[in-house]
Amino acid sequence: MADVHVIDLVEEVLGPGLEQFGVPQLWRHATGKGVKVAIFDSGIDGQHEDLAGAVLDHVNFTDSPDADVYGHGTHCAGIVGARVNGKGIHGVAPECDLYDVKVVNDRGDSMYEWLIKGFQWAIAQKIDVISCSIAGARFDERLHGVVQAAHGRGTIIVAAAGNFGFQVGEDTTGYPARFPETIGVGALGEGHEARAQFSSTGEGVNIMAPGSNILSCLPGNRYGVTRGTSTACPFVAGVVALIVHKLRKDWTEVTPRLVHELILENALDVGRPGRDKFTGAGIIKPEALFGSILRRSRRFFKPT
């Protein structure tokens, strides 16, 4: 994986974004326990000290061996679900169940055919959340079909918008983030307060999340820092896992539409007023959306 700065960790840390976005405070309400999160990427090093026991299944649809040689998938998996175990980092949803869906080969390349097979597998396995840090340049009818099928089955699909923000024009969002059935994620820059210049723009951008200097796992019990909408996507997927866990605890029916609404309605508007092609609804605010969930719960479950 290019542009990764490998670092040595001597003690467990929260990592960029978690404390600033109030994620640890949410763990008293939900940790992602029992939520099935599929990482569509280059594979996951399931033997990593921070991911041991977290990966429950693995499938490979690429032309490369199973191992995560590229490193991208392990990094994304750590952002979502690294365990709180006294080592390395904390994931956003540290008790979720991870599923390794390899659709990126050892050279960092993917094909729509591999993605389609991944979605078909996820549908069969009744996956709750898909984190897809892949951005294709062209529309594909078959890909859209399986995305629609997964969404219709109840799977919440989180997808990276892409790193094409430097290109001329205002619509550079890749697929599948460009599909309306997904939560398209753009990346915030330093300080997590404004859009990173590399972050793609367009109607497919729904929400912004930390995507610069993001610390996470690398294969071989290593850790490293990188940037991209690829790192913002699993942050949002982790928040979604927390939402799903909390809603299930409240005995609320979980649907992609409900989760989409919670995330977008509670975003912090930045940039141009209102929804725009650069930052979507704004910056994800986990504390605000959990407050919204708690208020909804009180309306439905009044004390007698």
pLDDT of 10 = 74
pTM: 0.96
Residue 102, SS3? strand
Q: Residue 53 is part of which domain span?
A: 5-300
Domain count, the chain: 1
**pLDDT for 88 beyond 70:** yes
Q: What is the spatial distance between Cα 242 and Cα 90, in angstroms, rounded to a whole number?
A: 14
Q: Which CATH number belongs to the domain containing residue 102 in this structure?
A: 3.40.50.200
- Residues 98, 237: contact at Cβ < 8 Å? no
**pLDDT for 304 beyond 60:** no
pLDDT tens for residues 236-295? Answer: 999 999 999 999 999 889 999 999 999 999 999 997 788 999 999 999 999 999 999 988
pLDDT tens for residues 181-212? Answer: 999 999 999 888 999 999 999 999 999 999 99
* Residues labelled catalytic: 41, 72, 230
The residues, any chain, with a CB within 8 Å of residue 267's CB and separated by 6 or more, are 207, 208, 280, 281, 282, 283, 284, 285
